[in-house]
Amino acid sequence: MASTYYKHALLATLTGFSLVAALPSSAVAAGPIEDVCAGPIGELKNIQAQIRVHNAKPRVSTDRAYVNAHNAEARQLNAAQAQAISRVRQCVSAFSQVMRNHPQSTFPNPNPSQIARLSDATKKLTDTQRQAVTRWNPKTYDFLDYGPGKKAMTTRVDRIPPDFPPSIRSVIRPIYQALDKTRPAIPRTSVLQGKLPPRIGGPDPAYGNGRPVTGVAFDHIIPLRRLVTMRNFLKLTPEDMWRVANSPANSQWLSKTANSSKLSGSSAFISGADPTWLREQAQLRERAESEVQQLIEALLKTQKG
Q: How far apart are CA 300 and CA 305, in angstroms?
A: 10
pLDDT in tens, 134-169: 766 555 444 333 344 444 344 444 444 455 677 777
> pLDDT value at position 135?
67
Instruction: Extract the runs of DSSP E, i.e. beta strands, from the chain.
Output: 3-4, 60-61, 144-145, 155-156, 216-220, 251-255
Strands 216-220 and 60-61: unpaired
Weakest mean pLDDT among 106-120, 131-145, 169-183: 131-145
Q: How far apart are CA 214 and CA 147, in angstroms?
A: 28
Q: How far apart are CA 254 and CA 267, in angstroms?
A: 9
> pLDDT value at position 181?
95
8: Cβ contacts below 8 Å, ≥ 6 apart: 51, 54, 55, 74, 75, 77, 78
Cα dihedral 54/60/65/67 (nearest 10): 50
> pLDDT value at position 178?
95
229: Cβ contacts below 8 Å, ≥ 6 apart: 133, 134, 136, 137, 138, 140, 172
Which residue, 253, 101, 273, is CA-closest to 186? 253
Burial of 284-296, coded b for 16+ CB within 10 Å and e otherwise, reads bbeebbebbbebb
Mean pLDDT of the chain: 79
Higher pLDDT, 238 or 270: 238
Long-range contacts of 108-115 (CB under 8 A, 24+ apart): 108/184, 108/186, 108/243, 108/246, 109/35, 109/36, 110/182, 110/184, 110/239, 110/242, 110/243, 113/182, 114/182, 114/184, 114/242, 115/238, 115/239, 115/242
pLDDT in tens, 226-252: 898 888 999 999 999 999 999 999 999
If you count them, how many residues does the chain have? Answer: 305
Handedness of CA 243, 244, 245, 251 (dihedral sign): positive
Q: How far apart are CA 216 and CA 78, in angstroms?
A: 51
Q: Where does the pLDDT of residue 279 fall: very low under 50, low under 70, confident under 90, or very high at 90 and above?
A: confident
> pLDDT value at position 208?
82
Report helix, strand or coil for 68.
helix
Weakest mean pLDDT among 163-167, 189-193, 262-266: 163-167
Weakest mean pLDDT among 21-35, 66-80, 81-95: 21-35
pLDDT in tens, 30-72: 346 777 788 888 888 899 899 989 988 887 788 888 888 988 9
Segment 281-300 shows an average pLDDT of 91
Segment 198-204 shows an average pLDDT of 94
Q: Give this prediction's pTM.
A: 0.76
In the chain, the amino acid numbered 60 is V
Segment 279-303 shows an average pLDDT of 90
Weakest mean pLDDT among 23-27, 29-33, 254-258, 298-302: 23-27
Segment 290-303 shows an average pLDDT of 90
> pLDDT value at position 112?
94
